[in-house]
Structure formats: C-alpha cells, structure tokens
C-alpha cells in the first residue's frame, strides 16, 4: 500500500513538473521570439529614419550618425568594395558601453541581407545590412569632403529581451519548485488522509462483520443446542419447549437480518425511496407514545407539543424513528425513570432522567452493534439508533445527543418542515 502510494505521489509530482516545464519552455520561446522580432522591426525603422539630404546621408546640425542610434544599437558604414568605413559603439540604457559583435572586414557581398544573430562577450545582436544605393555619402570626422559608401549595417542588442527571458526563467524555476513542493505536500496529505479513511473503512467493515457474526452466532448456538438436546434426550415433553425456544431465536435472527437489510438499503441509496409528503410529527409522536404505554403501563411517558408540526417525509419511517428513540430510552433507564417526548417546529426531542452516558459512549452511540458495557438494558441488537440516524439523514435532517453521567440523555431530531421546503 505504501509503495503504491509512493508511486502515485511521485507520478503526480512528475506530471506537475513536466506540465510546468512545458509551459515554461513555451513561455520562454514565445518571449524570446517576441524580443527578436521587436529588434528586427526596430532595425528597419532605424534605417528609414536615417536623415536624408538630396539623396545623401550626412550629419544633421552637427549630430553624428552614431548619436542618432537608439540605446543598444550600432551602425556600420561599408564602402562599395566591402571595406568598413565607420562603426559606432553601442551603449546601454545606463550609458555604459556594450561590446559589439565581430563583423568581417571586408564585408562579403550579401552579408546580413536577411537578419542574423551574432554574439559578443556581453550579449547577442540582431544584424541586418541595407543597400543605400550609389549616391550615399557621409561627412566623417576630421575630413572636409564627404565619403561615399554603399551599405549600412545596423545591429540591435537583444540584451533587454534576454534580461526579460532570464527573469522569466528564474520566476518559472521558483514557481515550478513551489508548485512541486505544494503538490508534494498536498499529495502527501491527500494520500495519507485517503489511506487513513481506507483503513478506518476497513476497520469499520471488520467490526461490522465481527459484530454481525457474533449477533447471529448467539441465536444459532441456542437453536443448535435445543435441537441437540431434544434429539439426545428423546423426551416428548421437551419437544414443545425446544420448538418454542427455536422459534424465538429464529424470530430474533429474522429481526436482525431485516434490520441489516434496512441499513444496507439506506446506505446504498438513502434518498431514492424517501417520499416528501406532509407528515404530522406531533400525531406520530402521540400514537407512538400510546402504543408504548400500552406495552409498558408502569412507565411514565409524557408528551410536550403545543401545536401541530408538519414535516416532509415518509410517515412509516418517521414513526420508526420515534418508536426506536422511545424504546431506547425505556431499555436503558431504570423502571421508574420518566421519559418526555417534545415536538416543536420540525424538532423531535426524546429526553429521559436516567443514568446518562459518558462522553466516550456518546461519541459512539450511533455506531452499528455498539452497546456500552454496564448500561441498563433488556437486550437488543445495537442497530436501533443506527437505523434512526440513517432515516433522519435520508430525510435531510439531523440527529444529535447530549448526555452526562447522572443527568439523563436527550436525543434531538431536526427535520425539514413543509413550509421550509416550499420557501426553497
């Protein structure tokens, strides 16, 4: 299990890192291509903005051609025979010189007719050569007459784009690392939680099977014992007693199996068969109390319901809720303990003045087959409160219990009323 969990976690982290890496690479490629295209467009704009005068390129108002270059750009003037006549020194935005790339001298014909990338010790440059025709001249420093040239090679530094790409790479590495750590932590927490829930589910299943086996084994043992006793003894007068006890235990097993099937049905699809019909909760409580009082005339059961309380649900199922809660109060309290059933605004409360329950018992009171040791009881399967909880939850309601040792127990059921459903 742990090995499988480790493989799943490593696979999840690997997929996350791979996905982030693909996104990072795509972003870097797109940003680098954008920076390169931007410099290429600037090369053309710089060439178009060189000051023309009567077909000649000259200095304007004493401003040299190099001073007309944007930050990070350079210009190289090439004679018709390929000799480099003049080159400028590119500078950065802060005014610091930038190392220019090496350009062949003489320049081969057609060199850099299409943009190409050259590297210097500082950065990369995009270079392009422009043919200015036969009449291009420039007045070079220290000369009295203009010098003829044919080509202008203009280069632009990719340093700004590279800085942006480097910052993006750093950011993406940090983001990828953070994402990998977050996925690792989240995945570990998630897998650990899933593993705990699976173990708890398996433990509950084992406890359920063990408890069900124990509950079924008791009547089966009794049936086998009476059958064996009747077979061995051969006494006709014992047959009636044996058959009566066998019938009682068979009924007990049948009741247990019916309750188990009911719980399974509610667990598989709790909302499928629950009708949403108006049900008078006060009327159900009154009828249930009357039935229980007829069976236990010595017990004091009172009812507190000032007005009608109509809820939405299944009348028979809700009748079982009331009956189970009242029976539970009677089973686990001394004979002279009073029980009070209250109904008000969709809430049913069954309170007793019995010995109460310890906190650990309260926490487990709705578990299947759970029966606390030492509680006053006249038997039972330990499924009654589990069925009550399942029915209440299937109706969209809530059931809670409050109890303290020596101060009794109170079960409170809250169900959606007809008016509340109509307002939704």
Which residues lie below 8 Å from residue 403, measured CB to CB, with a gap of 6+? 356, 357, 361, 362, 409, 410
Q: How confident is the model at residue 377 (pLDDT cuts 50, 70, 90)?
A: very low
Q: Give the best-scoring range by mean pLDDT among 8-17, 64-73, 295-304, 365-374.
A: 295-304
Q: How confident is the model at residue 410 (pLDDT cuts 50, 70, 90)?
A: very high
What are the structure tokens assigned to 38, written together?
């931007």
When the candidates are 3.40.50.1100, 2.40.160.10, 1.10.300.10, 3.30.565.10, the CATH number that belongs to 277-414 is 3.30.565.10
What local confidence, expressed as pLDDT, does residue 421 receive?
A: 45
Q: How confident is the model at residue 378 (pLDDT cuts 50, 70, 90)?
A: very low
Kindly list the domain boundaries of the chain, sorted by start residue: 13-165, 277-414
Phi, psi angle pair for 62, to nearest 5°: 80, 0
Phi, psi angle pair for 84, to nearest 5°: -80, 120
Q: How confident is the model at residue 94 (pLDDT cuts 50, 70, 90)?
A: low
- Whole-number Å distance between alpha carbons of 116 and 104: 14
């Amino acid at each position: 299990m742990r090995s499988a969990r480790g493989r799943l976690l490593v696979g999840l982290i690997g997929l996350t890192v791979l996905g982030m890496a693909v996104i990072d690479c795509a972003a870097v490629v797109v940003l680098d291509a954008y920076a390169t295209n931007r410099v290429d467009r600037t090369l053309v704009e710089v060439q178009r903005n060189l000051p023309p005068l009567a077909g000649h390129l000259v200095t304007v108002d004493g401003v040299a051609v190099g001073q007309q270059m944007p930050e990070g750009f350079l210009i190289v003037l090439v004679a018709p025979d390929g000799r480099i006549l003049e080159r400028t020194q590119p500078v950065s935005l802060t005014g610091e010189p930038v190392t220019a790339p090496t350009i062949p001298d003489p320049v081969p014909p057609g060199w850099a007719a299409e943009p190409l990338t050259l590297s210097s010790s500082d950065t990369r440059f995009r270079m392009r050569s422009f043919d200015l025709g036969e009449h291009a001249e420039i007045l070079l420093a220290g000369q009295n007459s203009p010098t003829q040239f044919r080509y202008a090679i203009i280069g632009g530094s990719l340093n700004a784009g590279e800085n942006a790409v480097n910052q993006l790479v750093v950011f993406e590495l940090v983001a990828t690392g953070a994402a990998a750590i977050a996925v690792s932590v989240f995945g570990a927490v998630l897998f650990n939680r899933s593993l705990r829930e699976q173990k708890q589910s398996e433990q509950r299943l084992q406890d359920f099977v063990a408890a069900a086996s124990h509950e079924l084994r008791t009547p089966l043992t009794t049936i086998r014992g009476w059958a064996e006793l009747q077979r061995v003894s051969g006494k006709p007068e014992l047959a009636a007693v044996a058959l009566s006890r066998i019938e009682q235990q068979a009924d007990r097993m049948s009741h247990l199996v019916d309750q188990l099937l009911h719980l399974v049905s509610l667990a598989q699809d709790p909302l499928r068969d629950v009708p949403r019909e108006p049900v008078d909760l006060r009327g159900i409580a009154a009828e249930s109390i009357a039935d229980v009082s007829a069976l236990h005339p010595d017990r004091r059961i009172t009812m507190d319901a000032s007005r009608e309380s109509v809820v939405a649900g299944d009348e028979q199922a809700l009748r079982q809720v009331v009956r189970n809660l009242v029976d539970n109060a009677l089973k686990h309290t001394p004979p002279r303990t009073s029980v009070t059933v209250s109904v008000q605004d969709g809430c049913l409360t069954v309170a007793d003045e019995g010995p109460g329950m310890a906190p650990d018992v309260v926490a487990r009171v709705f578990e299947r087959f759970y029966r606390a040791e030492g509680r006053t009881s006249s038997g039972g399967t330990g499924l009654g409160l589990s069925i009550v909880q399942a029915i209440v939850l299937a109706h969209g309601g809530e059931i809670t219990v409050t109890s303290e040792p020596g101060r009794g127990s109170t079960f409170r059921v809250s169900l959606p009323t007809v008016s509340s459903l109509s307002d939704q």
